[in-house]
């Protein structure tokens, strides 16, 4: 958790700015707030890093991806291609907006592949919700070529890939809109928070209104503002935004250290029998928040997880059995267990979610073991971790010998 590793005086200073004014609401109260606008500052810091034309801070990464989909025009009955490996919020957002998720294959980038998207296309496909998983990025050259060929709307969930880029363009800015997460477990945290980004002014204005009950935020009297669209409350508080400001300013330094530490571990593990790595399409743009190992097959990965648990090697995720990042455990999605009826239940799901045929995804996630990279690791700690991983891999691979 790089962001929370470096929490300190900078965050306290930004919080105290807000506490001294007592204005926790992000809008209005100009006379009382002493020119303290932390949500606006948070948005600016994100724009400084990514070069986004527009950024809007919201209450969570989940709110950010819902805003991105809604502002891009995704709604009832629209088929949206989604990955089966993502944080569950991506799928929830599509469903709650009335969209119809269509699951497609990922590849060794851990993201949707152009081939997987193409195979999942139907005459009703309107959009692709691309998720940049585990700190990296998808193969954007191939995906953008397909998006343009088929005239699809692209929305990017870069919740785990803030500050990652592909050939100079930051994740979240290839399509109509994008989303970043700043929850407690990301490269930078606001405690809870998210950022919507776009380079399109109209899309920004739609998101800005959608996330605050439809307000247009024109004028100085909130009670007299117009409401161009129906929206909901996804506002971020000034307190959360204040933490986000301080944390985001640290991201360039965190990213540099992450890259050093990830490369150090990869160099140590590259020659270990049975260990490979997930594909990073642009190493120069990697946020390096995860060290993603690919074992030869699912059984090898399961044995390695067992060996690491026995040896006390910690700090990893085996996503294949993870309850909220991989489709195998999403029984509530497969069976459409809802608190109230959703459009997908009325219109009908475009796939049989209980019997999806995604062999490439099953193979990749079955082999994948991810370690969160810490920016505060010492070389001694990394040496110890690499030694532990190598020893466990050796035991796991011995069965194949």
Instruction: Answer whether residue 326 is part of any domain.
Output: no
Check whether residue 53 and residue 133 sit in a common domain. yes
- Of 250, 276, 294, the residue that ends a domain is 250
- Look at residues 218, 250, 247, 215 and name the one whose alpha carbon lies nearest to residue 231: 215
pLDDT of res. 401:
55
State the residue range of the domain holding 278.
251-321+362-398
Check whether residue 99 and residue 162 sit in a common domain. yes
pLDDT in tens, 235-258: 999 999 999 999 999 999 999 999
Task: Please give the chain's pLDDT, 401 residues, in tens.
Answer: 677 899 999 999 999 999 999 999 999 999 999 999 999 999 999 999 999 999 999 999 999 999 999 999 999 999 999 999 999 999 999 999 999 999 999 999 999 999 999 999 999 999 999 999 999 899 999 999 999 999 999 999 999 999 999 999 999 999 999 999 999 999 999 999 999 999 999 999 999 999 999 999 999 999 999 999 999 999 999 999 999 999 999 999 999 999 999 999 999 999 999 999 999 999 999 999 999 999 999 999 999 999 999 999 999 999 999 999 999 999 999 999 999 999 999 999 999 999 999 999 999 999 999 999 999 999 999 999 999 999 999 999 987 55
pTM here is 0.97
Marked catalytic residue, from 126, 176, 186, 262: 186
Check whether residue 241 and residue 277 sit in a common domain. no
Which CATH number does the domain housing residue 183 bear?
A: 3.40.640.10
196: phi then psi, degrees, rounded to nearest 5? -90, 135
Tell me the C-alpha distance between 97 and 395, whole Å. Answer: 48
Residue 230: both structure tokens together: 């129906």
- Of 213, 230, 250, the residue that ends a domain is 250
Which CATH number does the domain housing residue 387 bear?
A: 3.90.1150.10
Instruction: Answer whether residue 348 is part of any domain.
Output: no
Check whether residue 315 and residue 204 sit in a common domain. no
Tell me the C-alpha distance between 104 and 81, whole Å. Answer: 6
Check whether residue 124 and residue 241 sit in a common domain. yes
Q: What number of CA atoms fall less than 13 Å from residue 239's CA on the CB side? A: 7
Q: What is the DSSP letter of 123?
A: T
Check whether residue 198 and residue 313 sit in a common domain. no
Check whether residue 373 and residue 317 sit in a common domain. yes
Instruction: Answer whether residue 327 is part of any domain.
Output: no
Check whether residue 64 and residue 148 sit in a common domain. yes
Start-end of H helices in 22-79: 38-50, 61-71
Asked whether the CA dihedral 68, 71, 72, 76 is positive or negative, the reply is positive
Instruction: Answer whether residue 332 is part of any domain.
Output: no
Instruction: Answer whether residue 350 is part of any domain.
Output: no
Instruction: Answer whether residue 150 is part of any domain.
Output: yes
pLDDT in tens, 260-288: 999 999 999 999 999 999 999 999 999 99
- Of 219, 250, 281, the residue that ends a domain is 250
Tell me the C-alpha distance between 90 and 64, whole Å. Answer: 10
User: 398: helix, coil or strand?
Assistant: helix
Check whether residue 193 and residue 163 sit in a common domain. yes
Check whether residue 117 and residue 257 sit in a common domain. no
pLDDT of res. 1:
62
* Total domains, the chain: 2
Tell me the C-alpha distance between 288 and 297, whole Å. Answer: 24
Check whether residue 298 and residue 184 sit in a common domain. no
pLDDT of res. 279:
98
186 is catalytic: yes
Tell me the C-alpha distance between 33 and 28, whole Å. Answer: 9
Instruction: Answer whether residue 333 is part of any domain.
Output: no
Instruction: Answer whether residue 331 is part of any domain.
Output: no
Check whether residue 191 and residue 259 sit in a common domain. no
Q: What is the DSSP letter of 135?
A: T
């Amino acid at each position: 958790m790089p962001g929370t590793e470096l929490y300190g005086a900078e965050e306290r200073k930004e919080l105290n700015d807000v506490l001294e004014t007592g204005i926790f609401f992000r809008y209005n109260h100009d006379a009382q707030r002493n020119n303290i606008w932390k949500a606006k500052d948070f948005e600016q810091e994100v724009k400084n890093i990514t070069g986004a034309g527009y950024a809007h801070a919201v209450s969570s990464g989940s709110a950010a991806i819902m805003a991105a989909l809604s502002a891009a025009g995704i709604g009832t009955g629209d088929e949206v291609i989604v990955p089966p490996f993502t944080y569950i919020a991506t799928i929830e957002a599509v469903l709650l907006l009335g969209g119809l998720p269509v699951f497609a294959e990922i590849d060794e980038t851990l993201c949707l592949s152009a081939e997987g998207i193409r195979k999942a296309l139907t005459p009703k496909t309107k959009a692709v919700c691309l998720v940049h998983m585990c700190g990296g990025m998808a193969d954007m050259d191939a995906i953008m070529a397909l998006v343009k060929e088929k005239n699809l709307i692209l929305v990017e969930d870069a919740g785990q890939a803030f500050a990652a880029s592909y050939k100079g363009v930051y994740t979240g800015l290839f399509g109509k809109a994008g989303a970043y997460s700043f929850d407690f477990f990301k490269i930078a945290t606001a405690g809870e928070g998210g950022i919507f980004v776009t380079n399109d002014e109209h899309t920004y204005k739609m998101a800005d209104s959608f996330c605050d009950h439809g307000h247009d935020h024109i004028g100085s009297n909130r009670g007299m503002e117009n409401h161009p669209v129906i929206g909901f409350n996804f506002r971020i508080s000034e307190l959360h935004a204040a933490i986000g400001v301080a944390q985001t300013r640290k991201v360039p330094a965190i990213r540099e250290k992450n890259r050093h530490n990830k490369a150090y571990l990869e160099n140590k593990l590259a020659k270990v029998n049975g260990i490979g790595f997930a594909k990073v399409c642009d190493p120069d743009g990697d946020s390096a928040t995860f060290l993603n190992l690919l074992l030869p097959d699912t059984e090898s990965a399961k044995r390695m997880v067992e060996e690491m648990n026995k040896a006390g090697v910690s700090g990893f995720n085996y996503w294949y059995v993870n309850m909220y990042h991989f489709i195998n455990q999403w029984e509530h999605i497969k069976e459409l267990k809802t608190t109230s009826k959703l459009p997908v239940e009325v219109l009908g799901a475009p796939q049989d979610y209980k019997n999806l045929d995604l062999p490439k995804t099953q193979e990749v996630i079955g082999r994948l073991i991810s370690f969160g990279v810490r920016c505060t690791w010492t070389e001694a700690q990394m040496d110890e971790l690499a030694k532990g991983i190598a020893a466990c891999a050796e035991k796991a691979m011995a069965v194949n010998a």
